[in-house]
Structure formats: C-alpha cells, structure tokens
C-alpha cells in the first residue's frame, strides 16, 4: 500500500517523503539563516531577490495551483504592496512594520472585492481579467501624481541588507507555513475540489464563491507582503519595475516546474529558475535570455507535473505536459 500511496498526487503525501521533506526544509532554512553571518553581500542580495520571487510563486500557487484559476496578475499585488509601503512611509511618515502590515492587507481587501466579479470567469477569461487588472494598477501608479507618477517614490534609507534578507526570509517562511496549513484544512480540500470540478464541489455543499475569494485574497496578501519588503529594501520604487508584467509568466513557470498545488514545489521552482537566471546573467550577459528561455522550454516539456510530480510518480512526457496545462487551465 505504501508503494501505491506514493504513486498518487495528493493533499497528503505518504509519511516517509513527508518527514524527509521536513528534515530537508529545516536544514535548508538553517543554511539560509547562516548566509548573512559570513558577510557576503552578493549572496545576501541575490537570495533576498529569490525569496521575493519564491513568495510570489507560492502566492500564485494558492489561487493557481490549488484552486486551478490561472491568475496572470500576481505582479499587481506585488506592486500594490510595494506602493503601500512607499506611500505609508514617505507620505504619511509611518514606521516600517505597520506599513508592511498594510502592504499585506490592502491587496487582500482589493482582491476580495474584485474577486467577487472576476472569479465568476473561467479559463482564458479569468487569465485575461487578472492580467488586465494588474496592468491597470501599474498604469495607475505610473500616472497618479499622489504616488509620484513616473518619477516613483523615494523611501527613507533603511537598515543594512541583512535586515531585509531576514524579513524577506520570514515572509517566505510565512507563505510556506500558510500553504502547508491550508493544504490540510477544510479550505484546502475545498480549493482542490473546486480545481477538479467546480460544479461537483458546489452540489456537495462547497460554497465555491467564498472559498475562491478567500484563496484569491490570501494569494494577494502574501504577494503584497513581499512587495512591501522589496519597496523599503530598494529605497526607490518605479511602477515599471515593481509592476513588471513579464514576471507573471515567470512565476507560473516556476510553480509548474516545482509542482503546482504542492506546498514546497513553487518555492523549489523559484530557487532553481531565479538562481539559474542570475547565474546566466553573470556568465552570458548577451545570451542569457535565450539560454534561459530554452532551459524553461526543456524543463516544461520534459518535467510535466513539476519536480514534485517527478518525485511522486515519475510522470514525464508531452502527453502529461498537455494534461497538466489543462489541469491548471494555463
């Protein structure tokens, strides 16, 4: 039965791989906590950036991976969080911590409000609506004089890099723990049921509108927090950088690579792809985008179901890749 159980994709993986996952996660976490101690600023900077992307991928995972709604506007929540911290600290003179809390809450509230109408859409229509909303937020930030329009916002100079490293790492840990809790709760069961068959879930009593909206809001909250930390870390923010729409696709590729709908998959995917991108940029300044694109293509073609799927059931091949695309309605 153990062998059988390990060959399925499930909310709750078998005990052995579960405890192995925990041991590995804790080891990696200890290593990450130790990085700034040897005073290497390069790695501190690179890893802080990767943590931010990993939070975004994990945020997408809740609405995209668990619920099956391919949101293409994740960067909108990141930018909204960044601008919340920017405005709160530089315009209103708030301290960082309350500003950061607002950077989580505001995207969550906005997501809950727009979620009610747009979560009625499915498939491509939902993807387009979220993409458009994210772009609209960016345009708004780029044109609204109150938030600095095209000259952006300058924030007070912050503490040393290590501070942001630890805060971003804490947000990432929060995102992973939140996802882990969701995966084994009523909410997680409801989300996966919605992903697999929304109507069948509804007739069994699942309040689909409520749970989808909750997933969308939690997804926005986590992503907004990452944006908030990013804003203070960068000390100056511009709409085109914090609302960089090309990132929407990167996040989804990362989540699919690591395993959408799993707890750690999107984080692993973000570390691999963003880390790879960073190394390629250093080694081949001219060609890195082409090489990166080719690597992404190969990974997506030959690792459908992500690394998580590979570990769990050894599913590879084009047929499964197409199945996964359909399953996550990308």
Partner 1 sequence: MEAQRRIGDPILRVAHLRKSFGALAATDNVSFELREGEILGLIGPNGAGKTTLVNLLTGVAEPDAGRVEFNGVDVTGWAPHRIGRAGMARTFQVVRPFAGMSVRENVAIGALFGRGQRHSVAAARARADEVLAQVDLAALADRSSSALTLQDRKRLELAKAIAADPLVLLLDEVMAGLHATEIDEAIDLVRRINRGGVTILVIEHVMRAIMRLCDRIVVLDAGRVIAEGTPQDVSANPGVIKAYLGARWAARELGAEGA
329 is an interface residue for partner 1 by CB under 8 A: no
The partner residues of 154 in beta bridges, in order of sequence, read 236
Q: Are 42 and 161 in contact (CB under 8 A)?
A: no
Distance between CA atoms of 73 and 310, rounded to whole angstroms? 28
Q: Decide if residue 41 touches partner 1 (CB under 8 A).
A: no
Contact range with partner 1 by CB under 8 A, out of 2-10, 130-138, 163-171, 269-277: 2-10
Closest distance of CB 206 from partner 1, Å: 5
| 49 within 8 A of 241, measured Cβ to Cβ | no
User: Which of 18, 91, 122, 186: binder of partner 1 (CB under 8 A)?
Assistant: 186
Q: Which stretch in 101-109, 140-148, 195-203, 290-298 sits in contact with partner 1 by CB under 8 A? A: 195-203
Which C-beta is closer to partner 1: that of 167 or that of 263?
Answer: 263
Binder of partner 1 out of 70, 89, 100, 190 (CB under 8 A): 190
Residue 8 binds partner 1 (CB under 8 A): yes
* Half-sphere exposure for 197 (CA within 13 Å, toward CB): 6
Asked if 117 interacts with partner 1 (CB under 8 A), we say no
Residue of 30, 37, 157, 203 that binds partner 1 (CB under 8 A): 203
* CA distance linking residue 233 with residue 108, whole number of Å: 22
SS3 category, 152:
coil
From 57, 110, 201, 270, residue interacting with partner 1 (rule: CB under 8 A):
201
Cα end-to-end distance, the chain, whole Å? 33
- Shortest separation between residue 184's beta carbon and partner 1, angstroms: 6
SS3 99: helix
Q: DSSP 3-state assignment of 154? A: strand
Site for partner 1 in 249-268 (CB under 8 A): 261
CB of 322 to partner 1, least distance (A): 15
Q: With CB under 8 A, what is the number of residues at the site for partner 1?
A: 31
3-state helix, strand, coil in the chain (%, to 5): 80, 0, 20
* One residue of 26, 136, 204, 290 binding partner 1 per CB under 8 A: 204
Residue closest to 217 by CA, chosen among 285, 116, 289, 143: 116
Only segment of 28-36, 50-58, 129-137, 207-215 that touches partner 1 (CB under 8 A): 207-215
The closest alpha carbon to 311, from 273, 270, 265, 263, belongs to 265
Residue from 33, 170, 200, 297 in contact with partner 1 (CB under 8 A): 200
By residue count, the chain amounts to 330
What does the alpha-carbon distance between residue 237 and residue 79 come to, in Å, rounded to a whole number?
9
> Smallest distance, Å, CB 261 to partner 1?
7
**Computed from CA positions of residues 179, 47, 133, 112, in that sequence, does the dihedral angle turn out positive or negative?**
positive
The answer to whether residue 28 forms part of the interface with partner 1 (CB under 8 A) is: no
Q: Is 214 a residue that touches partner 1 (CB under 8 A)?
A: no
- Closest C-alpha to 232, from 294, 286, 168, 276: 168
Could you tell me the maximum CA-CA distance found in the chain, to the nearest angstrom?
A: 63
Q: With respect to partner 1, which residue has the nearer C-beta, 313 or 316? A: 313
Q: Of the candidates 193, 231, 253, 267, which one interacts with partner 1 according to CB under 8 A?
A: 193
If one asks whether residue 199 binds partner 1 (CB under 8 A), the answer comes out as yes
Q: Does 327 bind partner 1 (CB under 8 A)?
A: yes
Instruction: Please report whether residue 62 would count as binding partner 1 according to CB under 8 A.
Output: no
Q: What is d(CA 64, CA 150) in angstroms, rounded to the nearest whole number?
A: 31
Residues that bind partner 1 (CB under 8 A): 1, 4-5, 7-11, 184-186, 189-190, 192-193, 195-197, 199-209, 261, 327
């Amino acid at each position: 039965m153990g062998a059988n159980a390990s060959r399925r994709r499930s909310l709750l993986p078998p005990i052995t791989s579960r405890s192995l996952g925990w041991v590995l996660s804790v080891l990696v976490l200890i290593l990450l906590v130790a990085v700034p101690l040897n005073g290497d600023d390069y790695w501190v900077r690179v890893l802080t950036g990767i943590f931010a992307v990993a939070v975004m991928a994990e945020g997408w995972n809740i609405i995209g991976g668990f619920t099956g709604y391919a949101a293409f506007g994740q960067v909108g929540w990141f930018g909204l969080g960044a601008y919340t911290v920017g405005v709160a600290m530089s315009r209103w003179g708030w301290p960082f911590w309350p500003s950061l809390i607002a950077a989580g809450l505001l995207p969550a509230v906005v997501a809950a409000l727009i979620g009610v109408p747009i979560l009625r859409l499915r498939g491509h229509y939902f993807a387009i609506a979220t993409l458009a909303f994210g772009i609209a937020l960016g345009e708004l930030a780029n044109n609204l004089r109150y938030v600095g329009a095209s000259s952006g916002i300058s924030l007070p100079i912050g503490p040393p890099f290590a501070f942001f490293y630890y805060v971003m790492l804490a947000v990432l840990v929060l995102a992973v723990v939140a996802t882990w809790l969701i995966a084994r709760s009523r909410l997680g069961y409801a989300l996966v049921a919605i992903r697999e068959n929304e109507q069948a879930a509804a007739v069994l009593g699942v309040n689909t509108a409520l749970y989808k909206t909750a997933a969308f809001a939690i997804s926005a909250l986590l992503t907004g927090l990452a944006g908030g930390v990013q804003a203070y870390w960068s000390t100056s923010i511009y709409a085109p950088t914090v609302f960089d729409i090309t990132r929407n696709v990167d996040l989804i590729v990362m989540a699919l690579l690591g395993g959408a709908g799993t707890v750690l998959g999107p984080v692993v995917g973000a570390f691999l792809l963003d880390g790879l991108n960073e190394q390629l940029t250093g080694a081949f300044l001219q060609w890195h985008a082409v090489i990166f694109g080719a690597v992404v293509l190969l990974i997506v073609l030959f690792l459908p179901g992500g690394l998580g799927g590979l570990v769990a059931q050894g599913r590879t091949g084009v047929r499964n890749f197409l199945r996964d695309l359909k399953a996550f309605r990308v």
